[in-house]
Amino acid sequence: MARELLSVLAMEHFALKPLPYGQRALEPHVGRKTVALHYEKHHAGYVKKLNELVTGKPEATESLESMIRSSEGAIFNNAAQIWNHDFYWRSMHPDGGGAPEGALNEAIVGNFGSFERLRDEFLEAGAGHFGSGWLWLVSHRDGLRITTTPDADLPLRYGENALLCADLWEHAYYLDYHNERARYLEAFFDHLTNWEFAQANWSNAAVNTPMLRRASR
């Protein structure tokens, strides 16, 4: 591992979380070189930058989530991008894809009509999002929905709970798919989506959301 990356991993306050799998694990859908550059340059770069921005400031003692809720500008952008990338890596799994089971599957059918309809909405929203940003499956007090956010923005800011996300920045797919974002998103959805992660996030959200807790009684 490059010395520069090791120094980011060892940084005082905000650390670069390890990837949950090897850099080749998502092939052929997302290539090793894409993962290496995305993790070691882009994701690590946000960690390095945030540490530089907050060193010696009161923010250095805050959690990433509280910083995201209370900051703006460069601190918000770098903190949110760290959160988004941690979430993105875990939204994928080498044995991902297929469809979720049990309660989440029922909730998807209830909210979207069918799993196929969720897939259509996910792909349409991702293809239709202009420029850089993120594509999300979220839960909120009325159920599940697909949404996109620009640049570093994220559902946490709007009281929504992220279940899954796909990175829409070109660095996430350009080496593998060039300008064809739709093909990247199809490969992501069909082969990489980590439904166990989504299920766990949804369960946590249901426990933590008063409306959902009341509804489930």
Nearer to Mn ion, 169 or 184 (CB): 169
Shortest Cβ 85–Mn ion spacing (Å):
6
Cβ nearer to Mn ion, comparing 42 with 145: 42
Residues from 163 through 182 that contact Mn ion (CB under 5 A): 167, 169
For residue 39, state whether it binds Mn ion (rule: CB under 5 A): no
- Taking the least distance from each CB to Mn ion, the nearer of 167 and 186 is 167
Distance of closest approach, residue 109 Cβ to Mn ion, in angstroms: 31
Rounded-to-integer distance, Cα 192 and Cα 194, Å: 6
Assigned token pair, 201: 């996030």
Beta bridge partners of 148: 135
- The conformational region for residue 164 under phi > 0 = left, psi -120 to 50 = alpha, else beta, is beta
Backbone angles phi, psi at 180, to 5 degrees: -90, 75
Distance CA 30, CA 149 (A): 22
List, as one string, the DSSP characters of 144-159.
EEEEEEETT--GGGGT
Closer to Mn ion by CB, 169 or 189: give it: 169
Distance of closest approach, residue 162 Cβ to Mn ion, in angstroms:
15
Residue 88 or 202 having the CB closest to Mn ion: 88
Angstrom distance (rounded) from CA 184 to CA 169: 11
Helix and strand numbers (H, E) in the chain are 11, 3
Binding segment toward Mn ion, per CB under 5 A, in 96-104, 135-143, 160-168, 195-203: 160-168
Size of the site for Mn ion (CB under 5 A): 3
Least distance between Mn ion and beta carbon 156 (Å): 17
The two structure tokens encoding residue 99: 């469809």
- In the bound complex, which residue of the shown chain has the CB atom lying closest to Mn ion? 167
Q: How far is the CB of 36 from Mn ion (least distance, A)?
A: 13
Shortest Å, Cβ 163 to Mn ion: 19
Binders of Mn ion in range 91-110 (CB under 5 A): none
User: Do 21 and 94 form a contact (C-beta atoms < 8 A)?
Assistant: yes
User: Considering only 42-50, 101-109, 115-123, 186-194, which stretch makes contact with Mn ion by CB under 5 A?
Assistant: 42-50
At how many degrees (to 10) do helices 73-91 and 44-54 cross? 150
Residue carrying structure tokens 């469809």? 99
Of 40 and 62, the one with the shorter C-beta distance to Mn ion is 40
Interface with Mn ion (CB under 5 A): 42, 167, 169
